Structure 1
Amino acid sequence: MRKITIAIDGYSSTGKSTVARQLADWLDYVYVDSGAMYRAVTLYALRKGFISEEKFDRNALVEALPGIALEFRKNKNGKAEIYLNNENVEEHIRTLEVSEFVSPIATVPEVRRKLVKLQHAMGEGKGVVMDGRDIGTVVFPNAELKIFMNASAEVRANRRYIELRDRGADISYEEVLDNVNERDHIDTHREDSPLRKATDAIEIDNTETNIEDQFHTILQLAKDRIAGRI
């Protein structure tokens, strides 16, 4: 059976990573969470004091990029987790603080070039499912299957709020909604690789769709592409 490249793009908190991971597991493909890579760089910048509410020292971040090593390693349950300079930072990158600064970090062209190069290397040989903001438009413009995921900002904020609350974060729904709207604006208006739907991508709006139905819809699309039916 031939292998293909599957690119899943879309807005924040649309469940891209969840469905991409499910798809990769079912197909026995490599899964790459590109968002985790940008979050790891953001965590690095926060730890080094390059970015805060008061400042963003882009030059310092760019100069530090050669010293940032990222890789995915599978844990004992087979889930790929992100490592930053040999440290497992999977839990550290999922905080609201990182979420608040990841979009500005992702606007830096040098950051994007470094991560796109890594993503290309991870996707060599096909048999890969990658999710993010510019996978189908920039990283893998020739991917055999491109999905663009969307949902209302209110529904996405509620999903994110529940996730953060369950992790013990002391936040309000309004704070999360503001963060979602701000990230949407930055992601769609940045000069370098803005979030947009590829012309040949299939849009999936999951505002009122459950995870199981969504997965089966996308899985069938993948099966059809693998078989050459569409």
Structure 2
Amino acid sequence: MDTHSFTVAIDGPAASGKGTISKAVAAHFGFAHLDTGLLYRAVGRRVLEGVDPLAAAQALTAEELAQGDLRTGEIAQAASKVAVIPEVRAALVDFQRAFARRAGGAVLDGRDIGTVICPRAEVKLFVTASAEVRAERRYLELSSKGADVTRDQVLADVRERDARDAGRSAAPMKPAEDAVMVDTTDLSIDAALDLAKSIINKKLAAQN
């Protein structure tokens, strides 16, 4: 292994807190960060514009990940739908794996990082929370942005997306066998971050 590369794989369902934890961990350790969900959101956005899913995945550029409108509910649902297509997932694997082994360390968050993309990652975390808690977080986030949604509607969307992500034939969402579970249902973000940092610090110390 390249002694300058260190991969942290963080998986989990929507609104579990994995994105917040991933960004904070990357900033703390000076690692690069990739929200792999943005890859599928960018593809989903192109599909909503009428582009073929596989063509969109094969032509994806880093610039498309920086577009500011990828966080809408419509794009999230489109992303979840294209993510079940095996050919789309395969087209995006190389992009993710190259990022993961870059010099200086990398944090990737998604739904199949520890199981498929980076099965040899030095650290694997699976961040989760109850569907009700995650739906409330997402409802507050969407409401604060002016979205016209109800709590029941958001909870239904969360459960539908969970079922699709966990039930797909290609790289279903599930914890890696050696992943550490981080349940944020009753855990503050600071406590979850402290746990993640502790796990990573131990692994880094063991390598040095």
Q: Calculate the TM-score normalised by the size of structure 1.
A: 0.84
Deviations 1:77-112 (A, max 9, x none): xxxxxx31xx8423x111111122221110111110
Deviation at 1:150, TM superposition (A): 1.0
Greater share of residues in strand: 1
Aligned partner (choices 51, 54, 78) of residue 101 of structure 1: 78
Question: Is the 1:10–1:148 contact (alpha carbons within 8 Å) kept by the matching residues of 2?
Answer: yes
1:147 aligns with 2:125: yes
**How far apart are the structure 1 equivalents of 2:60 and 2:70?**
15
1:31 aligned counterpart, secondary structure: strand
1:45-124 equivalent positions in 2, closer than 5 A? 45-48=47-50, 60-66=52-58, 68-71=59-62, 83-84=63-64, 88-90=66-68, 92-124=69-101
Amino acid aligned to 1:28: G
**How far apart are the structure 2 equivalents of 1:64 and 1:197?**
28
Amino acid aligned to 2:141: E
Q: Which moved more, 1:123-132 or 1:163-172?
A: 123-132
Deviation at 1:65, TM superposition (A): 3.7
Question: Is the 1:150–1:207 contact (alpha carbons within 8 Å) kept by the matching residues of 2?
Answer: yes
Match of 1:214 in 2: 192
Aligned partner (choices 125, 143, 161) of residue 183 of structure 1: 161
Deviation at 1:64, TM superposition (A): 4.4
Distance change (3 Å), C-alpha of 1:215 and 1:128: same
Identical-pair percentage: 37
2:124 aligned counterpart, secondary structure: strand
1:12-23 equivalent positions in 2, closer than 5 A? 12-23=14-25
Distance change (3 Å), C-alpha of 1:101 and 1:225: same
1:228 aligned counterpart, secondary structure: helix
Question: Is the 1:38–1:106 contact (alpha carbons within 8 Å) kept by the matching residues of 2?
Answer: yes
**How far apart are the structure 2 equivalents of 1:33 and 1:6?**
12
Query: Over aligned residue pairs, what C-alpha RMSD do you find?
Result: 1.7
**How far apart are the structure 1 equivalents of 2:185 and 2:101?**
33
Match of 2:107 in 1: 129
Q: Identify unmatched segments of 5+ residues in structure 1.
A: 51-59, 72-82
Question: Is the 2:6–2:101 contact (alpha carbons within 8 Å) kept by the matching residues of 1?
Answer: no
**How far apart are the structure 2 equivalents of 1:101 and 1:195?**
17
Deviation at 1:2, TM superposition (A): 6.0
